Structure 1
């Protein structure tokens, strides 16, 4: 192969990596930019905190319940094809969200956004694995992917706040359409990944979606102190969960491939992902509802680190392995959440809030890139698509539950009610740290 051909291949590989990263950036931007739109949504669509919560959870719920299916579809029909259709559908559904005249219509198209995002996320990890088969190069690529996509954390709240001020909350969705076109142009070169003729079974996937929806409804009803509907929804979630597990055991295409069922290391990474996303979503969802200031600027100590620090995390992983940055992140996150909780209980502590958000940013940026690499390194090559789907599904389950809990408990803007979501998230991260300390 000539030098020119090698350079051209590297440029195509780099362009594809940028495109894949921008696609995940787009998926995250949709959540982080909307996080500051709560007050605008409440005023224009005549809804309350619970309605804003459902605007968030309808997206994360659909994404969480279909990410495993997205990974299976990528393995079966091709990662590049599923990725491209997901990006195209995401851009179109975003424009539909911008035109939504009522909360109900917005929830319908937010759900569609989640479904298309479920095609993007697991296939993007599969594409990176194919583009960078060597572990060290793949680790650096995953860090770059995390840094570019993590920039959505920094840009999202600030950009969202500016767009909302200029044109209202619909502008948050319009920006996704040109981004989708740029991604399709960058990723126009097909990446060859062997397909696996896996069967698909729809019943377990539908059962998972129904279980998560019932659990979210139960949490929301409990927060409104509607105890009878909360208990009934909780019992329904338990029944649906049991039925889904039973259907999955007899399915010809189970949600969890056999090669992953006994893989303790990979499941540990899934748990870490759920804990980190729970904590991150708690901050992104709760702060805009509690603060009357420019939330996007307030979040910068956290979001800027999420955008920049993953590149350093990649070097840490290369030098010390994945576990050390995971432990560092799961130490920093609960400490930061504790400081945020104290600051929210007493609004006159901006310095304490800033330090807490800084520690939260270190927690996210140390943990997420490392645990992705940890999961991929401990999984068989033929299960990469499923690993990407399940890992992001568990992360979105954490995000969905966090939005539901925060929306249900934020009945006051000061004192214990304001601090509770952050304290609870800190406890969840502390449990993750305990598991990380005993993992070898």
Structure 2
């Protein structure tokens, strides 16, 4: 329970801030790009450091890393609550992302240690996703109430009591396997620099600073190549050898990025586009967020019965349909029924896909790399979220009315269609492999 509550806290901090965007813009005298950075710098820091967090969990022990992450997250949250200006808030949000990067992979590693049996582990992961999914439902609504009562700073103060509860529930040490795998700093620094530069390039493109955007884009490409080269020669690479050529696990990483791209597009854009209060924005998002909260438990049973791949495909079918309906509703003067239906389908997409792809990744990975799987999976998810917030803020800076405002959702729908295509390819590839193996056995009987 305490492990899931910690993950709840990390996700709550993302969703609760969504409805605070207009309030932050007014209080700190910033614009859509500024509040976009308040979102992206958290996900960017999380994406850059979560792989390191997974390696640290494997090397130092998941329980120790988990507890340190929870304490640091609480302290950084209190700092965000008293931030006097946007610059200070951005620095503290980055720290918040770094501590979140310690919590997520270590929590997944602890679950794997507590439930070594694959069947029980699948149920535990689904429960972890379900409890943390409540943050998706609670975040916008709770955030709306807190902002209405005491302003946007109160959305960070709520983490203090949650940290105390998590530490109380997890006061008994959980034994987890430690591996003698070293840690190299340079590849992690290169990853952080690459993400930051790429996000800056997207933002500058949105502000039509084309020359600067092109320079930053080229620099991001160069950093990507350099980081990859350094990582290959590193004694402790970002990606362990056990995962490097595991196509199934890398497919799950890509799916996680696609789902978080679409999810962040909705959560970031809707509060900015609707002419309503923070409470109203939270209520509008409920058709999606409630499903994300309650449906993963059913998803866990369906995964156990049919395997994760079917649920992943179902999610990538529902999500683009939902996003297209949201785009239609926004373009056609915010039609409430169409918007609600679109958000409902989007909620099905998230709640079917995310728990299933986590189970898929864990099931196809080497047990010794569980912490790294959690780290890389969440890194790719946060990369998707970071790019989504940057792209959405870029598009909405240009124009927030009618057809132009629907563009972020249409782009997200296209990303989900790409995810569906790769999921279908994964199924066909596995079927072909089975056929080939059968044919080989026929030709070479034992």
Scaled to the shorter chain, the TM-score interval is: over 0.9
Structure 2 SS opposite 1:204: helix
Residue number in structure 2 paired with 1:239 = 222
Paired residue for 1:106, among 68, 78, 89?
89
Question: Match for residue 291 of structure 2?
Answer: 305
2:413 to 405, 413, 426: 426
Shift of 1:191: 1.2
Note if 1:412 corresponds to 2:399.
yes
The answer to whether the aligner puts 1:209 opposite 2:192 as a matched pair is yes
2:333 aligned residue: 347
Which residue of 2 is the match for residue 28 of structure 1?
11
Q: How far off is 1:348 after superposition?
A: 4.1
Structure 2 partner of 1:199: 182
Aligned residue number for residue 126 of structure 2: 143
Is the CA contact 1:346–1:414 (under 8 Å) kept in the aligned structure 2? Answer: no
| Alpha-carbon separation, structure 2, partners of 1:232 and 1:438 | 36
Alpha-carbon distance in structure 2 between the residues aligned to 1:325 and 1:246 = 36
What is the aligned counterpart of 2:172 among 169, 181, 189?
189
- 1:120 and 2:106 matched: no
What corresponds to 1:93 in structure 2? 76
Conservation of the 8 A alpha-carbon contact between 2:54 and 2:374 = yes
Quick check: 1:302–1:361 contact (8 Å CA) kept in 2? yes
Q: Deviations over 1:400-420 (max 9, x none)?
A: 000000000012222232111
Aligned to 1:281: 264
Q: 1:364 to 1:348 in 2, by over 3 A?
A: closer
Secondary structure class of the residue paired with 1:158: helix
* Distance in 1 between residues matched to 2:119 and 2:172, nearest whole Å: 24
Distance 1:336-1:102 versus aligned 2 partners, 3 A rule: same
Q: Look up the SS of the partner of 2:406 in the other structure.
A: helix
**Matched residue, 1:15:** none
> Which residue number corresponds to residue 436 of structure 1?
423
CA contact (8 A) 1:50 1:220 kept: yes
Matches of 2:110 and 2:51, distance apart in 1 = 16
Per the alignment, residue 439 of structure 2 pairs with none
Look up the SS of the partner of 1:309 in the other structure: helix
Unmatched runs of 5 consecutive residues or more in structure 2 = 428-446
Pick one of 231, 235, 238 that aligns with 1:252.
235
- What is the alpha-carbon distance in structure 2 between the residues aligned to residue 275 and residue 135 of structure 1? 26
Q: Distance in 2 between matches of 1:93 and 1:175?
A: 12
Cα offset, 1:308, TM superposition:
0.2
- The one of 121, 137, 144 aligned to 1:161: 144
Within 1, Cα distance between the matches of 2:424 and 2:216? Answer: 36
Residue aligning to 1:41: 24
Q: Does 1:291 find its partner at 2:278?
A: no
Secondary structure of 1:192's match? coil
Which of 346, 351, 360 is the matching residue for 1:360? 346
Q: Deviations over 1:199-239 (max 9, x none)?
A: 11100000000000000000001011111111111111111
The answer to whether the 8 A contact 1:221-1:230 is kept is yes
Match of 1:374 among 357, 360, 365: 360
Distance change >3 Å, CA 416–CA 89, structure 1 → 2: same
Tell me how far apart the structure 2 counterparts of residues 70 and 413 of structure 1 sit (CA, whole Å): 38
Deviations 1:141-173 (A, max 9, x none): 111111110001100000001101111111000
The aligned residue for residue 55 of structure 1 is 38
Give the match for residue 13 of structure 1.
none
- Is the deviation greater in 93-102 or in 347-356? 347-356
SS at 1:333's partner residue?
helix
2:245 alignment counterpart:
262
TM-score normalised by the chain length of structure 1: 0.95
Contact 1:72 1:385 in 2 (8 A): yes
8 Å contact from structure 2 (residues 197, 219) kept in 1: yes
User: Aligned pair 1:77/2:60, yes or no?
Assistant: yes
- Asked if the contact 1:338–1:426 (Cα under 8 Å) also holds between the matched residues in 2, the reply is yes
Alignment pair present for 1:318 and 2:304: yes
Count of residues paired in the alignment: 423
Measured on the aligned residues, the alpha-carbon RMSD in Å equals 0.7
Q: Using the alignment, how far apart are the partners of 1:320 and 1:189 within structure 2? A: 36
- 1:438 deviates by 2.0
For residue 34 of structure 1, give the secondary structure of its aligned residue in structure 2. helix
User: Is the CA contact (8 Å cut-off) linking 2:333 and 2:402 kept in structure 1?
Assistant: no
CA distance in 2, matches of 1:292, 1:30: 23
> Out of 312, 315, 320, which is 1:334 matched to?
320
TM-score (norm 2): 0.94
